[in-house]
Amino acid sequence: MVSDDQPMSWRLMMTDIAATYALRILGVNVDQSSKPARLNVRYHGLHEPVSVSETLESVDIPGLMKACEAVAQRIFHEEFRLNNAVEMHFTLEDTNGLALWHTNPTLYLKCPLTMTMKWSCLHLSEIFKTMTTLGIIELPSTVSLEGNHIDTDKTAKVIMDAMANGVEFMGNLILMRGFIDHDSAKRSGVAPVPQHS
Q: Which domain holds residue 19?
A: 8-188
CB-based contacts of 13: which residues, under 8 Å, 6+ apart?
179, 190
Q: What pTM was computed for the model?
A: 0.78
Residue 1 domain flag:
no
Residue 193 domain flag:
no
Buried b or exposed e, range 44-58, using 16+ CB within 10 angstroms: ebeeeeeeeebebee
Residue 81 domain flag:
yes
H-helix or E-strand spanning residue 29 = strand 24-31
Residue 63 domain flag:
yes
157-187 pLDDT, tens digit each: 999 999 999 999 999 988 887 776 555 544 5
Q: How many domains does the chain have?
A: 1
Q: How buried is residue 172: exposed, middle or buried, by Cβ count under 10 Å (0-12/13-18/19+)? A: middle
Pick from 55, 49, 89: which is nearest to 72 by CA?
89
Residue 117 pLDDT: 94
Angle ∠(32,35,39) on CA atoms, nearest 5: 50
Residue 147 domain flag:
yes
Q: Tell me the CATH number at 68.
A: 3.30.160
Could you read off the pLDDT tens digit of each residue along the chain, which spans 197 residues? 334 444 444 344 444 455 689 999 999 999 999 889 999 999 999 999 999 999 999 999 999 999 999 999 999 999 998 877 889 999 987 656 788 887 777 888 899 999 999 988 887 888 889 999 999 888 877 766 665 567 899 999 999 999 999 999 999 988 887 776 555 544 554 444 444 43
Residue 197 domain flag:
no
Q: Could you give the maximum distance between any two Cα atoms of the chain, in Å? A: 66
Query: Strand ranges (DSSP E) for 32-178?
Result: 38-44, 50-55, 87-92, 99-103, 106-118, 130-139
As beta bridge partners, residue 130 has 116
Residue 42 domain flag:
yes
Residue 91 domain flag:
yes
The number of C-alpha atoms within 13 Å of 125 and in the hemisphere containing its C-beta is 8
Distance CA 131, CA 153 (A): 25
Residue 160 pLDDT: 97
